[in-house]
Structure 1
Amino acid sequence: MKKLLSLLVVCCILITGCQKSEESSSFDKYMEEGKTAVASEQYEKALKFFSLAKEEKSDDIEANALYNQSNNLVEAIKSKNDKKYDVAIQLCDVIEKMSSESSVIKEAAKSLKDECDTLSKKETASEQTNNNVSNNSANNHTSTDNSTPKYYYLNRLNNIKSNYANAYDNLVSTSEIREMASREYSDWDNLLNQIWGTLKEQLPSSVMRNLTTEQKSWIKQKEARAKELSSQPGTMSLIESTSYLSETTKERCYYLVNNYME
């Protein structure tokens, strides 16, 4: 009887040891496959492997770090493809600040950040050129009186734009980014309402009626697109939605001031 019990104990130890060995083997395999996928720029594939590694060892610090980094990188690439360069850059900053033994994803994030920064600067330069053309066209028949409502609102618009130019640089968590994005949208939206109130006082009733119809259509399209973005999977969907609202509201403000305000 004692011999039988001893044999059972030994078998249990061997079985447990084999199970742990198999778990460790699978974990190491998934981690290596994930890193290989990153090196091949197959980031969604890498995310799946790091997810499997987490399932094998849910408390492993490195597996969790690489999973979070790859998840943010996938979201950043989607943002870049949607031309949401500011959001992509913010996500890359978050990745670079995450602690991990491997730098493979951080290097990919740095490369993506540099690319998005270049694209963002090109887009900004293009917008500035278009704004200058629009300003010149709208101002051909007006004076440069600094006391005009148009000058006043352009100055306020440029101030808000300047205030948020570097506001996201030192943010780390998605909650901080989300809060800042919400604050920025609120500032643009509040100013849009003020611009609209001034236009109602300035414009002839016939022009205002047509502009009101156009404004309602713009609001409907804006809200539909924001809802579409917020319903997408991923931790950054709400940030992308709010960033879209900020950007489109900012553009609408400049459009109304440059084309309708005196």
Structure 2
Amino acid sequence: MFVLLGACSNSTDEASGEVKKQSQIKNQKDDSTTVTDINSDTIVAEKEPENKNADESTTNKPNSLKAEYMGKLNDTDKEIVEMRENPIDDTTIASKKVEGDIYDLLDELINEIYGVLIDQLPSDAMDQLREEQREWLTYREKAAKEASLKYKNGTMEQLEYVIVENKLTEERCFQLVENYMN
């Protein structure tokens, strides 16, 4: 069984959400886990099944919504990398199409995650998250606009805006799952 742990980073990420560098990873608490590949963004760990005779269908099921959505986020991250590595061509128009498709994918995913949280969180916690989400949306739009201004009136302005929106939305998906989902 392979477990893929991805990480997003920005200057405001909490230490608990960051991936540790290879030099910091010496031992895992679970002796059956071995780190097989490490780079700055991803850790791939191979884990022996705890019960080697267990029915495979039960060992592959996530034990929580949090685990399920972390899997979805990691799969989405792989899909995004694939989309960016294989545009139709090298034009700005093709890049805008890819980023637009990524935006749609992430927008659907963040709305799905938010819907799960509505069902899962107590009403007072959800009210607080709603306010936090509104503030985050304002932050995302401001950050994307600010980043795009370096290309003001150029062909890259809109592309940079969507790239930043996508990066921040993907990071927010991970934050919502890590911090709020059970």
**TM-score normalized with structure 2 length:** 0.62
Corresponding residue for residue 18 of structure 1? none
Corresponding residue for residue 254 of structure 1? 174
The CA deviation string for residues 33-61 of structure 1, in whole angstroms up to 9 with x for no partner, is xxxxxxxxxxxxxxxxxxxxxxxxxxxxx
From 182, 191, 207, the counterpart of 2:100? 182
Q: Per the alignment, in what secondary structure is the counterpart of residue 172 of structure 1?
A: coil
Instruction: Quote the Cα distance in structure 2 between the aligned partners of 1:185 and 1:172.
Output: 19
Amino acid at match of 2:173: C
The CA deviation string for residues 116-149 of structure 1, in whole angstroms up to 9 with x for no partner, is xxxxxx9x71x557xxxxxxxxxxxxxx961421
Instruction: Quote the Cα distance in structure 2 between the aligned partners of 1:202 and 1:217.
Output: 21
Instruction: Quote the Cα distance in structure 2 between the aligned partners of 1:197 and 1:168.
Output: 28
The CA deviation string for residues 201-254 of structure 1, in whole angstroms up to 9 with x for no partner, is 111111111111111100011112223344523221111111101100000000
Q: Per the alignment, in what secondary structure is the counterpart of residue 85 of structure 2?
A: coil
From 83, 92, 111, the counterpart of 1:193? 111
Amino acid at match of 2:100: S
Q: Which one scores higher on RCO, CA 8 angstroms, separation ≥ 6?
A: 2
Does residue 221 of structure 1 match 2:139? yes
Does residue 156 of structure 1 match 2:69? no
Larger strand share, 1 or 2: 2
Amino acid at match of 2:109: L
Instruction: Quote the Cα distance in structure 2 between the aligned partners of 1:228 and 1:182.
Output: 19
- Please give the root-mean-square deviation of Cα atoms over the aligned residues, in Å: 2.4
The CA deviation string for residues 151-184 of structure 1, in whole angstroms up to 9 with x for no partner, is 2211111111101213233431110010001100
Instruction: Quote the Cα distance in structure 2 between the aligned partners of 1:167 and 1:145.
Output: 27
Q: Mind listing any 5+ residue stretches in structure 1 that lack a counterpart?
A: 1-121, 130-143
Between Structure 1 and Structure 2, how many residues are aligned? 126
Corresponding residue for residue 127 of structure 2? 209
Kept after mapping to 2: 8 A contact 1:229/1:238? no
Q: Per the alignment, in what secondary structure is the counterpart of residue 81 of structure 2?
A: coil
Instruction: Quote the Cα distance in structure 2 between the aligned partners of 1:181 and 1:145.
Output: 32
Amino acid at match of 1:248: L
Query: What's the % identity of the aligned pairs?
Result: 32
Kept after mapping to 2: 8 A contact 1:226/1:242? yes
Corresponding residue for residue 57 of structure 2? none
Larger helix share, 1 or 2: 1
**TM-score normalized with structure 1 length:** 0.44
Instruction: Quote the Cα distance in structure 1 between the aligned partners of 2:127 and 2:69.
Output: 22
Instruction: Quote the Cα distance in structure 2 between the aligned partners of 1:154 and 1:251.
Output: 12
